[in-house]
Amino acid sequence: MRKVWETPGGIHPAENKHQSVGRPIGQLALPEQLVIALNQHAGPAAEPQVAVGQTVLKGERIARSGAAALHAPSSGTVVAIEQRPVAHPSGLPAECIVIACDGRDQWAERQPLADYRSVDRQRLLDTVAERGVAGMGGAGFPTAIKLATDRPITMLIVNATECEPYITADDALLRERADELLTGVDIASYLLGDPAERVVGIEDNKPEAIAALRAAIAARGADHAPVELAIFPTKYPSGGERQLIQIITGQELASGALPAELGIVCQNVGTLYALKRAIVDGEPLISRVTTVTGRACAVNGNYDTLIGTPISALLAHNRLAPERLARLIMGGPMMGIALPSSELPIIKTSNCLIAADDTEVAAEQPAQPCIRCGLCAEACPASLLPQQLFWHAQSQQHDKLEAHNLFDCIECGACSYVCPSNIPLVQYFRAGKGEIRQQRADKAKSDFARERFELRQQRLEQQERDKQAKREARKLAAEQAKAAQAASQASGDEAPANSAAAMIAAAQARAAARLASPEQQREKLERAIASSRARLERADANLAAASAEGADAEALKPLLAGQAAAAQKLAQAEQKLAALAEADSAASPATESTASADAELDAAGRAIAKARQAAAEREALSPAALLDRDIAALDKRLTKLRDKLVAADDDQRELLAASLAKLEAKQQALHSQREAVADGV
């Protein structure tokens, strides 16, 4: 047996586990309705993929999520997709899919992957996500993400601690299905790149489970990777990930770090069992083992429970005496949440239901003053000083809270449990963390706003300066042109009728003025390069995304064209910059500047010609045609703006909406004008 280490702190609350492990894991009658919450795992909620009225088969995917999909736990008809109350600490309702079971419990086609080692690792991970496997011990973290770590993993820890009182779901699972768990360990092992060690961490209060595990390990063939047992004394909260890592390896996980940084991944027993079912049997995660216990229920036990089963159905099956029920708890008595109703559905993380009577829950007593006895500090598994944290939390001294490492609190509740003054310490710490998080978010937001404001200010000033410079240059050019004209008139030459020469002279002067500062020019070019590079990158990304999604050649064309254009622009800008650099290093900057001034002159001439042509065209058009053109241009702008609005975030949206409104008003005006013109005609 492995050497184990001791962790600081911890408590020994009454275990109350024997009530629910006496019988084998039971089966339940199919409920009439199943309610599947869409927010069952960490991260954004899943998106429903079924419509009301649609019939579904057992195991059919009903909601999609990148990390863990949801499936119909039984066959039947989708009768509603709506907000329903769910078991969540926030107490807020969540979007749920409601399925009326048809009683046939008919499976969709299953695709077992017994030879999972022949499947590519990435594809197998996708399958794990696809089949909805998520952490079943606590937070419901998607298993595919946890197993997809790109760090080298040297140890897979199986968390069979189940250190909270009352809960026996993992215990029961180990007693009856240890061999299936081991298969789950093998799959996880493969996905993690076959780490050197696989260790099951289990408390010594589960001798039957330990025996079953030993037997299952002994029965494995020699071709299987070895699995070790780490058995340690029962103490709450040994099952905390950080505590378990310290118990098994003697190492502490740095504050804020993930286990993968130590080359460790922890998985819960229930999760690995679900992994085995999902891969080897092709059954997505649609049921779990749930403990139903507490003195208000006449019968206590563990059950294979479909996700979405109403809690009231479980309680009725266990003959709940409603008059004895003092508190209904989902999870354990230390960290579980008190449910606001029994009409809530079972979710993937529902490991235990405690229908507690008066004798099983702490009487609600007013908190007495803290006498700083220090029992909480002795109980704290993270070696914090809860009495000091409490002091600072009360007075909202957030910097002191952080100096006392508030964020290393794992909210296990050991401090509240031992507090002789009945102070709800954990509640204070949760609130304190929430306040600090909120403050940080607010600060980040205001910092961002300030930065944006300052940049805008800078930009405006720069624009003003540029304008000023241009104005001066123009003035100078005008003066020069005037002088030239005066000179030519004075010399008796016939002045050309139009002022093209003057314009050209002005353009020349402008170009010269612009050239006066090559620094500015270079800056401008560099900006152009940066932006075209970004555009190119975006185009590349778009292209990659599109081809990943399997778009056809036709759809790819515009993207390719965009990419090519961006690349060309980049090349042009880079060329110009190179030319500029060459010019700088050239011995005679004067000639160079003349040359580029000539080029500038050409460009100015072209621009003038273009503007003339445009003016002529405009003249030639009828007012109606003119208006049509304006309307067409405006429509184009509007479409563009609407597209942008869809993609915009909240801050931008307001601005965009405002300008959209303005444009629409303008469009309205143009239309009425157009109508007026048409009537006139």
Partner 1 sequence: MVFKPVSSPHRHAALSTARVMQWVIAALLPGIAVLTWQFGWGTLINCAIATATALLCEAAMVALRGRSIRFYLNDYSAAVTALLLAVALPPLAPWWLVVIATASAIVIAKQSYGGLGYNPFNPAMVGYVVVLISFPLEMSSWLSPQSLLAAGTSHASLGESLAVVAGASADGWTGATPLDLFKHGVNGQLVDTFYAEQPLFSGAALAGVGWEWVNLAFLAGGLVLLGRGIFTWHAPLAMLASLALMAALFWDGGSSTSGGSLPLHLFSGATMLGALFIITDPVSSAVSTRGRLVYGALIGVLIYLIRVWGNYPDGVAFAILLGNFAAPFIDNYTVPRSYGHQRARRATEHPQ
Q: Which of residues 3-62 bind partner 1 (CB under 8 A)?
A: 8, 11, 13-14
SS3 477: helix
- In sequence order, which residues have a C-beta less than 8 Å from that of residue 82 and are 6 or more positions away? 95, 96, 98
- Helix extents (H) in 318-357: none
Q: Which is nearer to partner 1, 399 or 519 (CB)?
A: 399
User: 33, 54, 405, 673: which one contacts partner 1 (CB under 8 A)?
Assistant: 405
User: 84, 206, 404, 510: which one contacts partner 1 (CB under 8 A)?
Assistant: 404
Based on the shown chain and the rule CB under 8 A, indicate whether residue 492 belongs to the binding site for partner 1. Answer: no
Minimum CB–partner distance for residue 208 and partner 1 (Å): 25
Q: Which is nearer to partner 1, 43 or 424 (CB)?
A: 424
Q: Which is nearer to partner 1, 108 or 338 (CB)?
A: 338
Minimum CB–partner distance for residue 327 and partner 1 (Å): 6
User: How is residue 157 written in tokens?
Assistant: 């820890």
Based on the shown chain and the rule CB under 8 A, indicate whether residue 357 belongs to the binding site for partner 1. Answer: no
Burial of 137 (0-12, 13-18, 19+ CB in 10 A): buried
Minimum CB–partner distance for residue 382 and partner 1 (Å): 4
Between CA 409 and CA 508 the distance in angstroms is 71
User: 336, 351, 604, 627: which one contacts partner 1 (CB under 8 A)?
Assistant: 336
Sheet holding 264-268, edge to edge: 228-232, 197-203, 155-159, 264-268
Based on the shown chain and the rule CB under 8 A, indicate whether residue 374 belongs to the binding site for partner 1. Answer: yes
Based on the shown chain and the rule CB under 8 A, indicate whether residue 435 belongs to the binding site for partner 1. Answer: no
- Range 514-543, binding partner 1 (CB under 8 A): none
Specify the stretch interacting with partner 1 by CB under 8 A; choose among 325-333, 587-595, 609-617, 671-679: 325-333
From the centroid of its chain, how far is CA 34? 28
Based on the shown chain and the rule CB under 8 A, indicate whether residue 447 belongs to the binding site for partner 1. Answer: no
Minimum CB–partner distance for residue 6 and partner 1 (Å): 13
Minimum CB–partner distance for residue 520 and partner 1 (Å): 41
Q: Which is nearer to partner 1, 30 or 354 (CB)?
A: 354
Q: Which is nearer to partner 1, 308 or 413 (CB)?
A: 413
Minimum CB–partner distance for residue 14 and partner 1 (Å): 8
How many amino acids of this chain bind partner 1 (CB under 8 A)? 75
User: 87, 157, 185, 418: which one contacts partner 1 (CB under 8 A)?
Assistant: 418
Specify the stretch interacting with partner 1 by CB under 8 A; choose among 154-162, 180-188, 408-416, 537-545: 408-416
Between CA 578 and CA 183 the distance in angstroms is 63
- Range 158-177, binding partner 1 (CB under 8 A): 165
- Range 297-316, binding partner 1 (CB under 8 A): none
Based on the shown chain and the rule CB under 8 A, indicate whether residue 441 belongs to the binding site for partner 1. Answer: no
Q: Which is nearer to partner 1, 252 or 630 (CB)?
A: 252
Q: How do the residues of the chain divide into helix, strand and coil, expressed in percent and rounded to 5?
A: 50, 15, 35
User: 52, 92, 371, 541: which one contacts partner 1 (CB under 8 A)?
Assistant: 371
On the CB side of 510, how many CA atoms lie within 13 Å of its CA? Answer: 19
Instruction: For residue 297, give the nearest of 317, 328, 321 by alpha carbon.
Output: 321
Q: 543 near 560, Cβ under 8 Å?
A: yes
User: 40, 143, 305, 342: which one contacts partner 1 (CB under 8 A)?
Assistant: 342
Minimum CB–partner distance for residue 262 and partner 1 (Å): 11
Rg (the chain; Cα; Å): 36
For 325-391, list the strands marked E by DSSP.
Answer: 327-330, 337-338, 352-356
Where do we find the tokens 């093209």? 500
Based on the shown chain and the rule CB under 8 A, indicate whether residue 383 belongs to the binding site for partner 1. Answer: yes
Burial of 558 (0-12, 13-18, 19+ CB in 10 A): exposed
Minimum CB–partner distance for residue 422 and partner 1 (Å): 7
Based on the shown chain and the rule CB under 8 A, indicate whether residue 241 belongs to the binding site for partner 1. Answer: no
Q: Residue 606: what residue type?
A: R
SS3 426: helix
Specify the stretch interacting with partner 1 by CB under 8 A; choose among 140-148, 179-187, 426-434, 608-616: 426-434
Gap between the terminal Cα atoms of the chain? 99
- Got the DSSP string for 148-168? T--S---EEEEE----SSS--
Based on the shown chain and the rule CB under 8 A, indicate whether residue 368 belongs to the binding site for partner 1. Answer: yes
For 242-272, letters b (16+ CB in 10 Å) and e give bbbbbbbbeebbeeeeebbebbbbbbbbbbb
Where do we find the tokens 């004394």? 233
The size of the chain, in residues, is 681
Specify the stretch interacting with partner 1 by CB under 8 A; choose among 403-411, 557-565, 591-599, 657-665: 403-411
Give just the sign of the alpha carbon dihedral 335, 340, 342, 345: negative
- Range 244-263, binding partner 1 (CB under 8 A): 246, 252-257
Q: Compute CA distances 376 → 4, 345, 366, whole Å.
A: 25, 35, 18
- Helix extents (H) in 289-424: 311-317, 375-379, 386-394, 398-403, 414-418
Based on the shown chain and the rule CB under 8 A, indicate whether residue 373 belongs to the binding site for partner 1. Answer: yes
Minimum CB–partner distance for residue 205 and partner 1 (Å): 17
Q: Which is nearer to partner 1, 359 or 585 (CB)?
A: 359
Based on the shown chain and the rule CB under 8 A, indicate whether residue 417 belongs to the binding site for partner 1. Answer: yes
Based on the shown chain and the rule CB under 8 A, indicate whether residue 361 belongs to the binding site for partner 1. Answer: yes
Specify the stretch interacting with partner 1 by CB under 8 A; choose among 211-219, 362-370, 588-596, 654-662: 362-370
